[in-house]
């Protein structure tokens, strides 16, 4: 039970996470995203087995990002969003109740995105995600296995990057300053990685075709990805709660869409 | 050797077949080839690198010329039917290929998924797949590995999985394209024995593509030799070919199996110099851990001026880590490295790099400029040489390493051998006292290896110390001293001849005897 | 559409996504300095904009190398998927922005009938991706709530970044790569060879 989200069909899970992400973009009040964020946290800590310390570590960049967004919005909100009395002002800035509200709302919204993303990423196996795209969303096998073949090289590239760093040190390549130096340095990493990567792409494609792979959608599936009732239940839960939050927020008179109060 | 059962239709019949890549108009890669492959027969295809052996394999299973937009003429018949009449993906299921590079022949993360991929391509019902996977893993000696991630396996294990995936096609012909090129000596031998075992069961035809026959020799029935000009030079039984056609083989840059070779490997070709008593590099009480795992444990080792030292041991024994620590690329957790009598960390980076060279496994990782000339002068420029001085020095290096005509070429566009030469030349731009090599012969062909060894010997005679990390026991045989690592510890440190007497140690460290002593090995 | 593509071309798009994913992580953490300076003034997001063009480089390079309809869009989408597979914390949302950006880049190539791959087209394509992606962020990141001058200047920075990083740098890097000879089997490499043949003839 604790690990239930890991077993949700990845395609359905993705849509269930994307829709709230898109719809939350409509709201500019504090109440709606805050309530939904609390719901996401409840789901995350009751229906997954992600250790809380690990989650916090991964979530903290979102906190920084969100407060950056919030601060920017507070200082620079336009007239539509910055109504209400002036709370305080400093230097050339005037911070109003309206802009504070909008700022916090925008910040909370990006925290919602972050929490939804983490919930998805930490409970989804890459191979299963791709197989589900192929089996549920009819993604062509050529693209599915093509992507997986490239993705498989990740550890190799990370290792190569490290070696290139060492090689540069041996050859006395120092960190270069200025735009030209930066660009040159960028190239010195990118070209060997890409050149090797392209050769590997060719080799692995030939190897796959040598094993009888033609990209034909008519193939058997050893790992059957299915959409069961509980997958749809999860979907209904995520979207249903969002709708409920919207309704509640409207009912209580908090809901604000693009600066307009409802 | 098996007996061929009478006359029968060949599985594969190649008639007047030529192939060329589009760009190379002057000369086809192979030219009017005629040969057959027969059921239950093991054929070895030999030829120097660049002779297009790997391309031939892909022509046989029908992927070339289409995949590279090359041009081909002549006919190939599979079981009497012209291969052009096969549907896409049909012939590739009859002719399976295991490729040389273990890194780039998989598309899935786990062993189980990779093997399932082959079976799904064959449209085997999902319910039958698991059983087939388990049986195959047992057959290749990889039972219990189904959940393992492929990228975490060793080179030898990866190739066994590659073999398993191809065998699941249940092919009529199995092609092995230099499958052991990237393995440690013992893994390589194990793989070859595995192939022998497997071939005995189904009635497959096996084609092995190799530039050296050494370990395959006992099981092969027939040898095909392709020359540099793309013609088929010989189609013969091994004993006959190796005794009667020696000169031909040598001209084509093909390695002879030990017992037929008059000039044994590198050992005889070097001039013994008396090592001096002076240490150029010393390592004391070195320990190093990576992700809480001890990679090096209390290592002590010395390198004398002008000495040639080989570091050997299985993958993961800590060899590469050690020379990275020696070069100051990694900092040890404990212990010290002394270079020319001074603590390594007391050296100024710039000074140190001038006096210590490091050559990486993949030459491309070292390249940082657009042309061969700039590559050679990069370090000189930093050391403040004048335009004139650089030109002279670079000219000398290009002369010495046969790179003269390539001065304005892009380093990445060179051939494998040229890249290797350039990577060695670039570390000689100053006057190093010691050169460290991290598996420089890994995945290189015989000719390149020979050539590199010639340069090494020449450098050593100029009193430069050479440290080599390598799996090649023939190279170890030519060293002044061999240091064997086992699980991060020095298990042996002494002259090669005394190592070869320690059978138990050789087995434990997954090494082998050099070719010249191998007859006694009994295998 | 995908049937005209070779498997090796699809793997190439995927690998471009992986390589730039790795390089991005290694390099652009350095750019944080700028962001920290701007942060007290509430201009931290501006810091991201300066290097925003990196997000479109895969799209432009793939289109320039492979030269087929749909490549710019698909390559960007694949890069997005790869980013998700790599466990990027930005997660599924990246897929949406990738699709939108890819469509923006593809638009310009489509207008030329997928025949023109000169520098100006690549730069325009990057700029188009920047504009379209910006429209999406006006909505999704709530940037619409900001003062008009800030919106306009952010957009300007993003467009310039896209033109320089994805257009100019993307083309340059692809040309450098073609010189190494590894692109022989792709449209860009073939063009280079034709040119050389012509020059020597």
**Alpha-carbon separation of residue C120 from B10, B280, C133, C156, C189 (angstroms):** 58, 57, 20, 18, 20
Q: Reply yes or no on whether the pLDDT at B246 is more than 80.
A: no
Name the strand (E) or helix (H) holding B436. Answer: strand B434-438
Interchain proximity C180–B413, CB inside 8 Å: yes
Q: What is the pLDDT of residues A105-123, one digit of tens each?
A: 999 999 999 999 999 999 9
Distance CA B202, CA B419 (A): 42
Q: Roughly how many angstroms between the first and final C-alpha of chain A, as a whole number?
A: 39
pLDDT given at position A241: 96
User: Is residue B7 pLDDT above 70, yes or no?
Assistant: no
Mean pLDDT of chain B: 87
Nearest CA in chain B to C7: B67
Q: Is the dihedral of CA B302, B304, B305, B311 positive or negative?
A: negative
Residues in chain C within 8 Å Cβ distance of B371: none
Residue of C nearest to A202 (CA): C8
Q: Do B126 and A192 touch (CB under 8 A)?
A: no
Q: Is C145 in contact with A70 (CB distance < 8 Å)?
A: no
Phi-psi region of C6 (alpha: psi -120 to 50; beta: other; left: phi over 0): beta
Q: Is residue B365 a contact partner of residue A167, using CB atoms and an 8 Å limit?
A: yes
- Based on the number of CB atoms within 10 Å of its own CB, is C190 exposed (0-12), middle (13-18) or buried (19 or more)? middle
A163–C contact, CB cutoff 8 A: no
Range B278-340+433-514 classified under CATH 3.40.50.300: yes
Q: What homologous superfamily does CATH list for B12-254?
A: P-loop containing nucleotide triphosphate hydrolases (3.40.50.300)
CA distance to partner chain B, nearest, from residue C58 (Å): 21
Partner-chain contact B169 A200, CB within 8 Å: no
Please give the pLDDT value at position C28: 54
Give this complex's ipTM. Answer: 0.90
Give C183's contacts in chain B (Cβ within 8 Å).
none
What is the SS3 assignment for C155? helix
Q: Which of A148, A156, A203 sits opposite B108 (nearest CB)?
A: A148
Residue indicated by tokens 């699980």: B487
Give the total residue count for chain B. Answer: 523
Calculate helix-pair angle for A31-47, A229-251, nearest 10 degrees. 150
* Confidence band for B480, pLDDT divided at 50, 70 and 90: very high
Model pLDDT, residue B367: 92
Residue pLDDT, tens place only, B34-69:
999 998 899 999 876 666 778 899 999 989 888 887
Q: What is the pLDDT of residues B188-216, one digit of tens each?
A: 889 999 998 887 767 889 999 987 777 88
Q: Confidence band (pLDDT; 50, 70, 90) for A1?
A: very low
Between A74-83, B141-150, C189-198, the lowest mean confidence (pLDDT) is in A74-83
Identify the three-state secondary structure at position B493.
strand
* Cβ pair A220:B96 closer than 8 A: no
Q: Taking Cα atoms as reference points, which of B252, B245, B259 lies closest to residue B215?
A: B259
Query: Could you report the per-residue pLDDT of B109-148, keeping only the tens digit for each?
Result: 999 999 999 999 999 999 999 999 999 999 999 999 999 9
State pLDDT tens for residues A192-217.
Answer: 999 999 999 999 999 999 999 999 99
Query: Is residue B12 packed enough to be buried (19+ CB in 10 Å), middle (13-18) or exposed (0-12)?
Result: buried
The encoded tokens of residue B266 equal 């590198």
The tokens for B12 are 């594969």
Which chains share 3+ C-beta pairs under 8 angstroms with B?
A: A, C
Contact between B121 and A213 using a beta-carbon 8 Å cutoff: yes
Which residue has tokens 């060293």? B479
Residue A78 has a pLDDT of: 85
> How is residue B283 written in tokens?
């390592």
Alpha-helical segments (H) within B108-184: 111-121, 126-139, 155-167
Residues 98-127 of C with CB under 8 A from A: none
- Compute the average pLDDT of residues A5-27: 93
**Chain A residue with minimum CA distance to C27:** A186
Residues of A in contact with B419 (CB under 8 A): none
% of chain C exceeding 90 in pLDDT:
58
| Candidates B67, B105, B366; nearest CB to A204 | B105
pLDDT digits (tens, 9 = 90+) for A34-69: 999 999 999 999 988 889 999 999 898 889 888 888
Write the residue in C89, C145, C182 that is nearest to A121 by C-beta.
Answer: C89
Is pLDDT of A95 > 90?
A: no
**B107–A223: do the CB atoms touch at under 8 Å?**
no
- Residue A204: enclosing H or E segment and its boundaries? helix A178-210
Mean predicted confidence (pLDDT) in A229-248: 95
Q: Do A69 and C146 touch (CB under 8 A)?
A: no
Q: CB neighbours (10 Å) of residue C7?
A: 25
| pLDDT of B285 above 90 | yes
pLDDT mean over B388-413: 91
- Residue C82 phi/psi, 5-degree rounding, is -60, -40
Interior/surface letters B173-187, b for 16+ CB within 10 angstroms, e for the rest: bbbbbbbbbbbbbbb
Mean pLDDT: which of A233-237, B404-408, C78-82 is highest? A233-237
Judging contacts by C-beta atoms under 8 Å, the chain B residues touching residue A163 are 360, 362, 365
Highest mean pLDDT among B64-73, B341-350, C22-31: B341-350
Residues in B closer than 8 angstroms to C179, CB to CB, are 370, 410, 412-413
Range(s) within chain B of domains with CATH label 3.40.50.300: 12-254, 278-340+433-514
Helix (H) or strand (E) holding B301: strand B293-304
Mutation to test the B interface, candidates C181, C189, C197, most B Cβ within 10 Å: C181
Residue C99, pLDDT score? 94
**Residue whose pair of structure tokens reads 């050539």 in the numeric block:** B451
DSSP, res B74? E
Structure confidence at residue B523 as a pLDDT band (50, 70, 90) = very low
Interface with C, mutate which of B26, B58, B410 (most C CBs under 10 A)? B410
How does residue B338 score in pLDDT terms, banded at 50, 70 and 90?
A: very high
Q: For C153-173, what is each residue's pLDDT tens digit?
A: 999 999 999 999 999 999 999
CB within 8 Å: C19 and A76: no
The string of pLDDT tens digits covering residues C40-84 is 777 766 777 888 888 899 999 999 999 999 999 999 999 999 988
Q: Which of B11-15, B20-24, B298-302 has the lowest mean pLDDT?
A: B20-24
In the prediction, which pLDDT does B181 show?
78
The SS3 of residue B225 is: strand
pLDDT for B199 equals: 78
Question: Which of A61, A187, A201 lies nearest to residue C8, judging by beta carbons?
Answer: A201
Q: pTM to 2 decimals?
A: 0.92
Between residues B503 and B249, the one the model is more confident about: B503
Average pLDDT of every residue of chain C: 88
Strand B173-177 and strand B95-98: the pairing is: parallel
In angstroms, the CA C67 to CA C5 distance is: 11
Looking up tokens 């120092």, which residue turns up?
A174
Asked if B23's CB is within 8 angstroms of C193's CB, the reply is yes
pLDDT at C29 exceeding the cut of 70? no
- Name the token pair of B241: 């070919």
* Percent share of chain C, pLDDT over 70: 91
Give the closest-approach CA distance of B328 to chain C in angstroms: 22
CA–CA distance, C189 with B145 (Å, rounded to integer):
41
> How many Cβ pairs closer than 8 A exist between chain A and B?
149
Which has the higher per-residue pLDDT, B513 or A131? A131
Minimum distance, in Å, between the CA of residue C79 and any CA atom of chain A: 9
Q: What is the pLDDT of residue B262?
A: 47
B157 band by pLDDT with thresholds 50, 70 and 90: very high
Helix (H/G/I), strand (E/B), else coil: B356: strand
Q: How far apart are CA C143 and CA A106, in angstroms?
A: 9
Angle at B523 between CA B194 and CA B445, to 5 degrees: 70
Query: Could you confirm whether domain C2-200 is CATH 1.10.3470?
Result: no
Is it the case that residue C130 has pLDDT exceeding 90? yes
Task: Kindly state the average pLDDT of the residues B416-426.
Answer: 89
B459 band by pLDDT with thresholds 50, 70 and 90: confident
């Amino acid at each position: 039970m604790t690990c239930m989200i890991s077993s949700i069909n990845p395609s359905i899970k993705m849509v269930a996470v994307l829709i709230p992400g898109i719809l939350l973009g409509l709201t500019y009040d504090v109440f709606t995203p805050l309530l939904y964020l609390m719901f996401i946290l409840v789901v995350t800590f009751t229906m997954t087995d992600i250790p809380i310390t690990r989650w916090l570590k991964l979530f903290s960049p979102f906190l920084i990002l969100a407060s950056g967004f919030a601060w920017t919005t507070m200082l620079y909100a336009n007239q539509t969003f910055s109504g209400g009395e002036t709370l305080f002002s400093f230097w050339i800035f005037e911070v109003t109740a309206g802009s504070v509200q909008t700022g916090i709302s925008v910040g909370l919204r990006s925290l919602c995105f972050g929490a939804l993303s983490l919930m998805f990423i930490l409970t989804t196996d890459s191979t299963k995600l791709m197989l589900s795209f192929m089996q549920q969303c009819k993604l062509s096998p050529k693209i599915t296995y093509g992507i997986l073949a490239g993705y498989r090289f990740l550890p190799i590239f990370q290792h190569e990057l490290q070696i290139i760093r060492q090689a540069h040190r041996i050859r006395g390549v120092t960190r270069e300053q200025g735009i030209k130096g930066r660009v040159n340095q960028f190239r010195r990493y990118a070209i060997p990685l890409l050149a090797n990567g392209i050769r590997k792409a060719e080799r692995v494609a030939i190897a796959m075709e040598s094993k009888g792979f033609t990209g034909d959608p008519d193939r058997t599936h050893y790992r059957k990805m299915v959409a069961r009732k509980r997958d749809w239940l999860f979907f209904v839960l995520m979207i249903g709660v969002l709708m409920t939050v919207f309704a509640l927020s409207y009912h209580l008179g908090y809901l604000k869409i693009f600066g307009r109060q409802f | 050797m098996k007996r061929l059962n009478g006359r029968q239709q060949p599985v594969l019949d190649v008639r007047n077949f030529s192939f060329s890549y589009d760009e190379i108009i002057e000369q086809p890669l192979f030219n009017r080839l005629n040969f057959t492959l027969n059921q239950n027969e093991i054929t070895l295809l030999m030829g120097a690198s660049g002779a297009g052996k790997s391309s031939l394999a892909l022509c046989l299973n029908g992927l070339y010329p289409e995949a590279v937009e090359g041009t081909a003429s002549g006919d190939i018949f599979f079981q009497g039917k012209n291969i052009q009449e096969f549907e896409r993906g049909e012939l590739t299921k009859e002719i399976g290929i295991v490729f040389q590079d273990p890194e780039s022949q998989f598309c899935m993360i786990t062993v189980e998924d990779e093997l399932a991929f082959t079976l799904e391509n064959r449209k085997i019902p999902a319910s039958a797949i698991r059983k087939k996977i388990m049986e195959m893993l047992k057959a290749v000696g990889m039972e219990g590995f189904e959940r393992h991630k492929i990228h975490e396996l060793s080179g030898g294990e990866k190739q066994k999985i590659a073999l398993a995936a191809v065998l699941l096609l249940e092919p009529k012909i199995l092609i092995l394209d230099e499958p052991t090129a990237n393995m440690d000596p013992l893994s390589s031998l194990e793989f070859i024995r595995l192939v022998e075992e497997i071939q005995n069961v189904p009635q497959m035809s096996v084609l092995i593509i190799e530039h050296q026959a050494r370990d395959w020799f006992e099981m092969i029935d027939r040898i095909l030799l392709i020359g540099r000009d793309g013609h088929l030079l010989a189609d013969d039984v091994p004993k006959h070919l190796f005794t009667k056609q020696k000169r031909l083989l040598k001209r084509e840059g093909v390695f002879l199996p030990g017992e037929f070779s008059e000039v044994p490997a590198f050992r005889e070709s070097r001039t013994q110099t008396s090592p001096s008593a002076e240490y150029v590099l010393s390592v004391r009480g070195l320990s190093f851990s990576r992700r809480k795992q001890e990679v090096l444990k209390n290592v002590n080792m010395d390198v004398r001026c002008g000495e040639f030292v080989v570091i050997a041991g299985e993958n993961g024994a800590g060899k590469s880590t050690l020379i990275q620590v020696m070069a100051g690329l990694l900092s040890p957790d404990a212990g010290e490295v002394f270079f020319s009598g001074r603590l390594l960390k007391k050296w100024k980076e710039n000074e140190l790099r001038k006096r210590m060279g490091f050559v990486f496994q993949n030459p491309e990782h070292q390249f940082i400029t657009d042309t061969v000339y700039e590559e050679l002068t990069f370090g000189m420029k930093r050391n403040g040489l004048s335009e004139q001085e650089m030109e002279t020095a670079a000219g000398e290096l290009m002369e010495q390493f046969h790179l003269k005509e390539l001065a304005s070429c892009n380093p990445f566009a060179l051939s494998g051998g040229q890249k290797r030469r350039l990577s060695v030349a670039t570390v000689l731009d100053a006057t190093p006292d010691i050169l460290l090599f991290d598996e420089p012969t890994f995945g290189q062909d015989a000719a390149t290896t020979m050539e590199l060894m010639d340069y090494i010997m020449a450098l050593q005679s100029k009193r430069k110390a050479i440290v080599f990390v390598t799996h090649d026991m023939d190279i170890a045989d030519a060293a002044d001293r061999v240091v064997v690592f086992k699980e991060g510890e020095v298990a042996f440190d002494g002259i090669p001849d005394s190592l070869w007497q320690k059978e138990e140690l050789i087995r434990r460290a997954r090494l082998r005897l050099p070719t010249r002593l191998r007859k006694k090995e009994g295998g | 559409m995908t049937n005209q593509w070779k498997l090796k071309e699809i793997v190439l798009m995927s690998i471009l996504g992986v390589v730039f994913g790795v390089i991005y992580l290694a390099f652009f953490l350095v750019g944080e300095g700028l962001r920290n300076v701007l942060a007290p003034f509430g201009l931290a997001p501006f810091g991201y904009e300066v290097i925003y063009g990196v997000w479109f480089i895969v799209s432009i390079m793939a289109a320039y190398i492979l030269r087929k309809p749909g490549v710019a869009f698909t390559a960007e989408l694949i890069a997005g998927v790869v980013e998700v597979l790599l466990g990027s914390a930005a997660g599924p949302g990246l897929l949406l922005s990738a699709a939108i950006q890819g469509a923006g880049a593809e638009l310009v190539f489509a207008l030329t009938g997928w025949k023109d791959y000169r520098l100006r087209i690549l730069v325009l394509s990057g700029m188009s991706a920047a504009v379209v992606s910006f429209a999406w962020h006006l909505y999704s990141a709530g940037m619409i709530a900001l003062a008009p001058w800030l919106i306009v200047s952010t957009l300007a920075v993003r467009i310039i970044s896209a033109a320089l990083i994805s257009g100019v740098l993307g083309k340059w890097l692809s040309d450098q790569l073609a010189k190494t000879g590894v692109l022989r089997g792709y449209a860009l490499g073939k063009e280079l060879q034709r040119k050389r043949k012509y020059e020597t003839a």
